[in-house]
Structure 1
Amino acid sequence: MDEQHIVESLRPVLHPKFKKSLVDLGLIRNVSIQDGIVSLTLALKSDTSPLKNILMGEIKKVVGALPEVSSVLVKVVALSKEESARLFPKAPLKGIEKVKHFLAVASGKGGVGKTTIAVNVALALVEKGYKVGLLDADVYGPSVPLMLDIREAVDQENNMIIPIDKYGMRIMSLGMTAGQNDAFIWRGPLVTKILHQMLDQVKWGELDYLVIDLPPGTGDPSITIAKALPKCSILMITTPQEVALADVRRSISLFNKTGHSIVGLVENMSYFLCGHTEQPIEIFGKGGGKRLSEEANIPLIGTIPLDLALGQGGDSGVPLMVSAPHSTTGVVFQEIAKNIAVRQQ
């Protein structure tokens, strides 16, 4: 009886989840035998894993049945994060397997026009010839269906949700699965689950860009997207006033901590042209986006004016990048899309 004999005896013991041998997975370690006492280490994702007692029982049963073995001592240790990631890699999310680039539109502040910008930036990318999807990840107040005048519910095919095609892009929102006036009451675990479903179980197909409209704040939706899409780029939205900048700084801090690339900053509601003068009227202050850009070392890739057509487009379901793509504001969106594409090559 030697250590190798003991290891071989444990080869038939399988990990219940992965249906692979504990030995082949490298989870059996430090096997020794002395005076009939076998000692070994069992490595698991956590030393408090619910599999702990089950696997310890199987190991003791198998090894204890060997001749010359009087007792079995099993020590359970936790795998390091690196070992866990190598041994048990996460399965890719099926729905987004063919998506080349991910762009999350974020802001720590509500009411800055983030969804309006997400919709029109997505359409500006379509205008440039890219295959684009738009995911409304605001699980609390999904407004993309209203802005695009989508009234029909999504269908399913082979257990996959089929996004709605409109204006040359594929669109998915929680607002397409229930009445637009229904309240969505989600708590942490459910938020994570529903967002994973919208990535994994939606048939996005081949896309150059999946634009994701995040809700305000730095809570569960933003954290879930950050963890699920480590290569996702972030487009930050602000308005000029300091109260907006303070919240955007918190959002920037979150994505800096998660290691995500912030592709640029857009200042919305920068100024207003009243028609009686060529001088822009800076209703919400001046230079806030530029200051934040310099402070956070993030390029300011667009300043969007207060444009009545932009708001009317959201209300009518015909966005500005559909009704007037070559207007002054439309050209700004085209420049933003160009900057994003250049930075993601």
Structure 2
Amino acid sequence: MPSKEDVLTVLSAIKDPDLGRDVVSLGMIKDVTITEGGRVSFTFELTTPACPVRDRFQSLARDLVAGIPGVTAVDLKMTANVRAAFNGRGHEAAIPGVKHVIAVGSGKGGVGKSTIAVNLAASLQLSGAHVGLLDADIYGPSVPGMLGVYDTPKVQDEKLVPLEAYGLKVISIGLLAGADKAMVWRGPMVSRAIEQMLTDVRWGDLDYMIVDLPPGTGDASLTLAQAIPLTGVAVVCTPQDAALKIAVKALQMFRGLNVTPLGLIENMSWFVCDDCGKEHHIFDHGRVERSAQRLGVPYLGAVPLESAIREEADVGAPVVVSRPDGPGAQALRKVASAIAARVSVQSFRQLPVINVR
């Protein structure tokens, strides 16, 4: 009859491509049981439900264990446990119950940052994660319209209760002040509003909070970086040189605030002609990936310029939910998986090393 050691030995051949270690030493294999009849049961616990290699891990683990002499059947349960970030800052600085806060920023407006943020949040939720979405774009809150939510959040025990849309918990200044009201606020008022949306909201337990920042390098970004421990920031840009140069400045600003750059996202990367089916790179091609390599940050992927993304946003639906099989939705899901993978890597690398004598 096979032993537990036999099972762990064969499974140690599976290496996590991002963490660079085998899944057994990473503690991903749990609850190994073996019956007298040779049936092996175990749990494979991923670091994120949005793991980009989930299917490959599942099939490889099943095949390896099934190949052990004496194994008659394999019961494999795939789960995920998002580890909270460790960043050296006290727990009082964090939002209770929120494991990771991921900012989505851009150097300038008009690059599709909010559309990306909404679909990233929805993609992570579709994978099985608990996700919140904070619209911190005080002067131009567009998240409510993209999710089709317009009600005013209720207050419970002196805290706001987020609205829910597509499984996401959502708060936006547009829900509090009115969708048509212009926010003519100076910097201190912007900072205070963001602090309140972070701390005076009943967010509950979340694996990820996605924060849609306003474009640029102003008060909102500074407040967010200083108020809570950010897991990292993903910067959205388009391929043309003018937009990319400003995006790089935004990334460098976050580096100066000791916020980890999760990487660059290239939006509006290509367009497919309806008539000829040819792929066109309207705003140039390859600049964002080359810039990511030069800056030493991950290139998180590219998203096409696609009418379906805009059409679904206009009617209040993330394209990854309403048209999941389209090329735009698939590209957005891949970007979300890449971000989740980077967050997992960062969580492992930031864990303190404890020497036990």
With normalisation by structure 1, the TM-score equals 0.72
Deviation at 1:276, TM superposition (A): 2.9
**Aligned AA (2:92):** P
Q: Distance in 2 between matches of 1:342 and 1:107?
A: 21
**Aligned AA (2:144):** P
Change beyond 3 A, Cα 1:126–1:90: closer
Q: Distance in 2 between matches of 1:298 and 1:109?
A: 19
Deviates more, 1:269-278 or 1:135-144: 269-278
Q: Distance in 2 between matches of 1:192 and 1:91?
A: 21
**Aligned AA (1:305):** P
Q: Which structure 2 residues correspond to residues 274-313 of structure 1 after superposition, within 5 A?
A: 274-313=273-312
Aligned residue number for residue 344 of structure 1? 343
Aligned residue number for residue 150 of structure 1? 149
Aligned residue number for residue 267 of structure 1? 266
Q: Which structure 2 residues correspond to residues 1-345 of structure 1 after superposition, within 5 A?
A: 92=92, 96-345=95-344
Q: Distance in 1 between matches of 2:291 and 2:185?
A: 33
Deviates more, 1:278-287 or 1:96-105: 278-287
Q: Which runs of 5+ in 1 are unaligned?
A: 1-88
Counterpart contact for 1:93–1:200, Cα < 8 Å: no
Q: How big is each residue's C-alpha offset from its partner over 1:98-118, in whole Å with a ceiling of 9 and x where there is no partner?
A: 100111000111100000000
Counterpart contact for 2:312–2:318, Cα < 8 Å: yes
3-state DSSP class of the match of 2:133? strand
Q: Distance in 1 between matches of 2:321 and 2:150?
A: 18
Counterpart contact for 2:102–2:230, Cα < 8 Å: no
3-state DSSP class of the match of 2:332? helix
Q: How big is each residue's C-alpha offset from its partner over 1:152-200, in whole Å with a ceiling of 9 and x where there is no partner?
A: 1111001000000110010000000122111101111111111110001
Q: Distance in 2 between matches of 1:200 and 1:91?
A: 13
Q: Distance in 2 between matches of 1:90 and 1:319?
A: 35
Q: Distance in 2 between matches of 1:284 and 1:229?
A: 36
Counterpart contact for 1:131–1:169, Cα < 8 Å: yes
Q: Distance in 2 between matches of 1:228 and 1:286?
A: 37
Q: Distance in 2 between matches of 1:323 and 1:302?
A: 21
**Aligned AA (1:337):** A
Q: Distance in 1 between matches of 2:309 and 2:142?
A: 15
Deviation at 1:90, TM superposition (A): 7.7
Q: Which runs of 5+ in 2 are unaligned?
A: 1-88, 345-357
**Aligned AA (1:166):** A
Aligned residue number for residue 29 of structure 2? none
Counterpart contact for 2:101–2:229, Cα < 8 Å: no
Q: Distance in 2 between matches of 1:277 and 1:222?
A: 43
With normalisation by structure 2, the TM-score equals 0.69
Change beyond 3 A, Cα 1:332–1:104: same
Deviation at 1:93, TM superposition (A): 5.5
Aligned residue number for residue 64 of structure 1? none
**Aligned AA (1:331):** Q
Deviation at 1:336, TM superposition (A): 1.2
3-state DSSP class of the match of 1:263? strand
Deviates more, 1:251-260 or 1:288-297: 288-297
Counterpart contact for 1:239–1:288, Cα < 8 Å: no
Q: Distance in 1 between matches of 2:291 and 2:212?
A: 21
3-state DSSP class of the match of 2:280? coil
Largest Rg, 1 or 2: 1
Identity %: 41
Change beyond 3 A, Cα 1:91–1:192: farther
Relative contact order, CA 8 A, sep 6+: which one is greater? 2
